[in-house]
Structure 1
Amino acid sequence: MDARIETDDLAAGLYDEVSALSVTDILQRRATRHPQRVLFRFLDEHGREEDVLTYGDAWRRSTAIAAVLAAHGGPGDRVALFYPAGLDFIVAFFGCLLAGRVAVPLNLPSKRRVDRCLRILRDCGCRRALTVSSLEAGLRDILSVNADLPLAWLATDMLRNEATAAGIVPPPADERIAFLQYTSGSTSHPKGVMVSQLNITTNLRMMRTAWELDHTSNTVFWQPHHHDMGLILGQLLPVMLGNETVLMGPNTFVRQPLIWLDAISRYRAVLAGGPNFAYELAAQRWQPGRLDGCDLSSWRIALNGADVVRAATLERFAATFGPLGYRPTTMLPCYGLAEATLFVSGGPVCEMPRVRSIDAHAAETEGRVREDLGASGRTVVGCGLPSDEIEVAIVDPANGVRLGCDRLGEVWVSGDTNALGYWQLPEQSAATFGAEIAGEPGRRYMRTGDIGFIGADDGQIYLCGRMKDLLIVDGRNLHPEDVEYTIVESHPLIKPQSCAVFEDDRGEQRRLVAVIEADRELKRALPEIARALRMQVRRAVSEEHGVAIADIVFIAPATLRKTTSGKVQRSLMKQLHQQSALDVIDVAVALDAA
């Protein structure tokens, strides 16, 4: 950033002032002070710059959209946002906030997602939708199948930026709803998390403070903008920081993850990250000569969140990209969820991630964390210290009693980062966002549904799994993530994020089932190796966890159901399995079908 601009910001008190402003107010002030500064660059599928958005352009385009929205309907109206990866979404999102409308970011509806989109539109009562002109006609056709769902469409890329901004006043950072973040859920019933202006400001400030970020902290992100990580971290945090951010589409990353690393090098990014599988995928796709000249030495914070963090992944990634300037202290495991706007814990920065080996039997049967450095120890990775602005407690989910350090329980969070509740679901909102710890009245907590503990010696949060997915076998509490990881590690043809483990509770006996998604390579190999592969998987799970997998089912490529953040939807996979609705590969004919 231009030193003069930063000096002007400091002289005007903006750097400290933004801590209490709404994100649209921050955008307006930055656009006024340095309108030509680049806010976002968007890269195409080959890693080339496709579009650029300055702070001034972002403000002009946002106010033009706000002016149109303000002329129709009223404050609090919900507006659906259907956008491809790119820079049109963020100005539409800001336009909604400036007009006092509640933004509803949605994934573009594929065949599988049309029903989900229709359920969300009905649930929130949307009557207006924003998109780009190239998609409008197709979206009209796809979503007009129900006459009871009339939508007024606006192609925001066709608006003239010269539209007057008179009367457009940024809202304060208060408790009015800014947007609805619909959770992917494990079933077909997503819930709309009501995120307020105050929630956004608080969470952005928490991240800036915890990770020691400022206007020089350039970032690179690929997460989808309709997901909480892609929106809050990838598109709103840059506005608070006043930095420059490089974005790319999630499909670009999945197809060519090394483009992500190349962008970090080219644009000298300080902050970039993703779920654990992103680091696995990048290490798998690395090839000698592919990243010649790549220099990752600017990368100070590699966020690892939204999924279970694996110590083996951290080691593989460091070994693979260490020669390119990546440092092991760059990796920063973190924890967050949509119900807390996004960020809960992560840091301190520039330190080695905390890795512990615990007694699996004591954890599974007693809920106690004890060190076990032997071969039977279970490795867990710390997800950092909670922000100073919130309180995190570990609570017995059965009776609401606070548990001490190194005790397994449900993670509860209290603070201004907690969302207002679920849209039009008062009972579920009260149960999730209005919990109280037994004997400690007067303070409300949000129940995360995550099982974990706080380290006695370091105060970090350690996560072990989700309550709803817990496997109870012979009095032991097993987390499916651990069993799935063992399955993935058992054979090189089984890829990360490719299996779901759950209990089939039909009949008198509960049976453990593993559903494994085959990519094209595994699908071709299955006729020859299916029997041996099943034996190898069963042996690995038995030796590591002491339980038996009763059924192993192989399903077709791209049919394992996941959330928008890439998490496996185990409950949905269980439901499809019990309904015989999985796209199962018949091993006998797999070669012919490949």
Structure 2
Amino acid sequence: MTPSRSFTEALAGRFSERADHIALCVPDAGGAGADLMTYRELALRARRLARRLGLGATGGRPVLVCMDTGPHLAVAVVGCLLAGAVVSVVPPPASSRAARERMKAITEDTGTSLVLTEAALAADVSRYLAEDDRGGYGGVLCLAVDAPAPGGGADGSDGAYGSDGADADGAHAQQQPPSGDSPALIQYTSGTTAAPRGVVVTHANLLAAMESIRAALSTDQGSRIGGWLPLHHDLGLIGQLLHPLWLGATAVLVPPARFAARPLRWLETLDRYGVTATAAPDTAFARCAAEATDEDVAGLDLSRLRTAVDAAEQVSPGTLADFARRFAPAGLRPGALVAGYGLAEATLMVSVATPADAGGPVLEVTGAGEGAGGRGTLRPRRQEPGADTAVPAPYPVASCGPARGVEVRVVDPDTREELPDREIGEIWVRGDAVSPGYWHRALENAETFGRATASGAGGFLRTGDLGALDDGRLYVTGRIKDVLTVAGRTLHPQEVEHQLRRCGSRFASAAVFMVRPRGGEHLVAVQEVRTSGGGNGELAGLAERVRRCLAEDFGATGSVLLVRPGTVRRTTSGKVRRSVMRELFLRGELRPLHTEPAAGSGAAAAGPPVRKG
């Protein structure tokens, strides 16, 4: 491909080269059909919108794009880029309370003056902007991109995105193309441990990320790339919309509601539209493997799927093995499912395993307190039962493969010393795809970006994630802020939650965290359970299983709260929001089915009162 100076320039090239090729395929909610849009049509609509927005109309502030997954969202994003605007995609406020809170936080943080939506949502978005508890965002204009522009056609066919005017031949909407250093996106983080932060993604960051993804996944113009992740998530926006458009390939955008209603509809859509590359969180692959019947598998053809990336949260080797085994009869290629690791601050991707890594050696985290400042080390997985019974049981971690287009170091977060292979420390990253920083957060930028190791190697991003390298491959073990200290030993909450899920088929997601009430530090396990209606006796028995797992596998005691499925809060990509769960617990806002305070710890250690479900 001809090198481009900006992502916008790259898009203009695809509009010209691939005019008659399908750019977008958006299956409808029922799955009976799909909206198709060629590159010619996408270019025409996006350029109309760019002219409607006008150059400099946003005053240098980001434009929020607030709508459901679909053709209008894609047009809005591309139109903003053509107009030289900075784009931030947010979920519609009507979708949930969390979405409303997220939009409020992002509206305040960006100081935006313009929100783009679609006619079906315009009333809800306008009402929210007018009725916010701060007294409204009076200076924010809400614009429906599919509504007729002033002077446009009444049916919107010619006027919905602005008048064709003199540019109907497809002339570029911008007078001055952006430079590589110009911001293209403000990608807001999911907020696992804090309020959403806006990651500035430049045109140069995007171009570097596109090349790395192409090289890692072997994508090309014949690829069909898609999935169900919402486009306000970086894996959805960058991986499943912008990457195929940059290639000149086809983006297959599955409405997230189809996955939420029945996860296997995602795989059915991959089959129906011949998707060759997809990505999703570990929990999505796990649910599909667990819920698929023999009849479901017999009705699927996944032979055209070349690559499926398990990413956006810590990857379980068990999930990789279970999914590959369950869908092999459906034609899933050996090695098609691979683990990956990335984050918004690195413009999506840091590392991705290769097909050759699938089914390869699995490492495990050893007992707490060993090496790397108590964060543990990795070793080859041991299969013999009963090993190391004096310490918490090791748990397996999957290889996320080699770094892709960036440089990775594992560093002691306290001393900044680089650590040897298999010692767990903080993952540091540098490269052309790494963001220059957060939007208007100078203090956090100084703490997170452009950091130097003890040896003086500079320009690194501190990810806040823990992991280790082994022979050039990255293994991710958790988050620094989530690490637990129990009886002087360090535990990763993921390993505790992993063990709890294995306590029986009634157990779903869990969130494990520490609180510090009167009397010292205290562990809390919030465990989702599926009940059969057996009453308090059944619940007490399930709580006892949790207690036994904590005591026997980890030498820990703590409070146990059994809750309904869906109670554990997650980010848009599926990561457990432990800090949010901790706050809900401390405020007494959880609604447990059953509560067991820590044995012998007294009422104070059990935390604040909780509302009964």
TM normalised by structure 1 equals 0.90
Structure 1 Cα separation of the partners of residues 260 and 281 of structure 2: 12
Distance 1:85 1:524 in 2: 38
Amino acid at match of 1:213: T
Checking the alignment, whether the CA contact within 8 Å between 1:530 and 1:587 is kept in structure 2 is: no
Judged with a 3 Å threshold, the aligned counterparts in structure 2 of structure 1 residues 309 and 111 are, in CA distance, closer, same or farther, namely: closer
Distance (Å, rounded) in 2 between the aligned partners of 1:333 and 1:188: 26
Aligned to 1:142: 128
Query: What letter matches 1:504 in structure 2?
Result: V
**1:94 positional shift:** 1.1
Moved more, 249-258 or 373-382: 373-382
Question: How do residues 171-570 of structure 1 correspond to structure 2 at under 5 angstroms?
Answer: 171-172=177-178, 174-186=180-192, 189-358=195-364, 360-361=366-367, 362=370, 365=374, 367-373=376-382, 374-375=384-385, 376=387, 377-387=394-404, 389-441=405-457, 443-455=458-470, 458-495=471-508, 498-518=509-529, 521-522=530-531, 524-525=533-534, 527-544=536-553, 546-570=554-578
Partner of residue 605, structure 2: none
Match in the other structure for 1:130: 116
1:51 and 2:16 matched: no
Measure the CA separation in 2 of the matches of 1:317 and 1:308: 16
Asked if the contact 2:418/2:453 (under 8 Å) is kept, the reply is yes
Aligned CA distance change for structure 1 residues 239 and 444 (closer, same or farther; 3 Å):
same
Structure 1 residue 229: Cα displacement: 0.4
- In structure 2, do the counterparts of structure 1 residues 504 and 587 end up closer, same or farther at CA, with 3 Å as the change threshold? closer
**Separation in structure 2 between the aligned mates of residue 369 and residue 316 of structure 1, nearest angstrom:** 23
Provide Cα deviations, 1:150-171, integer angstroms capped at 9, x if missing partner: 2111110124255344561383
* Structure 1: runs of 5+ lacking an equivalent: 1-15
2:106 pairs with 1:117: no
Cα pair distance change 1:75/1:366, threshold 3 Å? closer
2-side partners of 1:245 and 1:112: how far apart?
A: 27
Letter in 2 for 1:486: Q
Specify whether residues 462 and 128 from structure 1 end up closer, same or farther in structure 2 by C-alpha distance, changes over 3 A only: same
State the one-letter code of the partner of 1:103. Answer: V
Report the Cα distance in structure 1 between the residues aligned to 2:578 and 2:518, rounded to whole angstroms. 20
Contact kept, 8 Å, 2:7 with 2:204, in 1: the verdict is no
Question: Structure 2: 5+ residue runs without aligned partners?
Answer: 149-158, 388-393, 597-611
- Structure 2 SS opposite 1:397: coil
Counterpart for residue 609 of structure 2:
none
- Cα 1:338–1:326 change in 2 (3 A) is same
Conserved? CA contact 2:298–2:329, under 8 Å: no
1:427 and 1:563 map into 2 onto residues whose CA distance is 24
The answer to whether the 8 Å contact 1:494/1:522 transfers is no
C-alpha separation between the residues in 2 aligned to 1:61 and 1:313?
42
Distance 1:468 1:354, change over 3 A: farther
Alignment partner of 2:16 out of 32, 37, 40: 32
Distance 2:403 2:588 in 1: 43
Q: 1:426 and 1:437 mapped to 2: Cα distance?
A: 20
- Separation (CA, whole Å) in 2 of partners of 1:431 and 1:472: 24
Give, in angstroms, the shift of residue 323 of structure 1.
1.0
Q: Secondary structure at the match of 1:299?
A: coil
SS at 1:246 equivalent: strand
- Answer yes or no: is the 8 Å Cα contact 2:189–2:197 preserved in 1: yes
Judged with a 3 Å threshold, the aligned counterparts in structure 2 of structure 1 residues 178 and 408 are, in CA distance, closer, same or farther, namely same
SS in structure 2 opposite 1:566? Answer: coil
Deviation larger for 393-402 or 278-287: 278-287
Counterpart contact for 2:14–2:246, Cα < 8 Å: no
> Contact 1:503–1:511 (CA<8 Å) still a contact in 2?
yes
Quote how far apart the aligned CAs of 1:85 are.
Answer: 2.0
Q: Structure 1 residue 219: deviation in Å?
A: 2.0
Counterpart Cα distance in 1 of 2:562 and 2:473: 38
Relative to structure 1, is the Cα distance of residues 71 and 174 closer, same or farther in structure 2, using a 3 angstrom cutoff? Answer: closer
- State how far apart, in whole Å, the 1-side matches of 2:198 and 2:430 are: 20
Cα displacement (A) at 1:351: 4.2
Aligned-partner residue type, residue 448 of structure 1 = T
CA distance in 1, matches of 2:377, 2:299: 48
CA 427–64 in structure 1, closer or farther in 2 if over 3 Å, else same = same
Higher helix share: 1
Secondary structure at 1:137 match in 2: helix
CA distance in structure 2 between the aligned counterparts of 1:171 and 1:355, rounded to whole angstroms: 48
CA shift at 1:51, angstroms? 1.2
Paired AA for residue 577 in structure 2 = Q
Which of the numbers 57, 69, 78 marks the counterpart of 1:94?
A: 78
Q: Report the secondary structure of 1:329's partner residue.
A: coil
Structure 2 CA distance for aligned equivalents of residues 192 and 328 of structure 1: 38
Higher mean C-alpha displacement, 324-333 vs 478-487: 324-333
Q: How high is the sequence identity, in percent, across the aligned residues?
A: 33
1:244 offset after TM fit, Å? Answer: 1.8
What TM-score, normalized by structure 2, do the two folds share?
0.87
Deviations 1:173-223 (A, max 9, x none): 511111111112135622111111111111111010122221122223110
- Distance across 2 between alignment mates of 1:428 and 1:89: 31
Deviation of residue 74 (structure 1)?
4.5
Partner of 2:69: 85
Residue 515 of structure 1 aligns to which amino acid in structure 2?
V
User: What SS does the aligned partner of 1:149 have?
Assistant: coil
Indicate conservation of the 8 Å contact 2:381/2:396, yes or no.
Answer: no
Aligned residues: 565
C-alpha spacing 1:220/1:184, structure 2 compared with 1 (3 Å) = closer
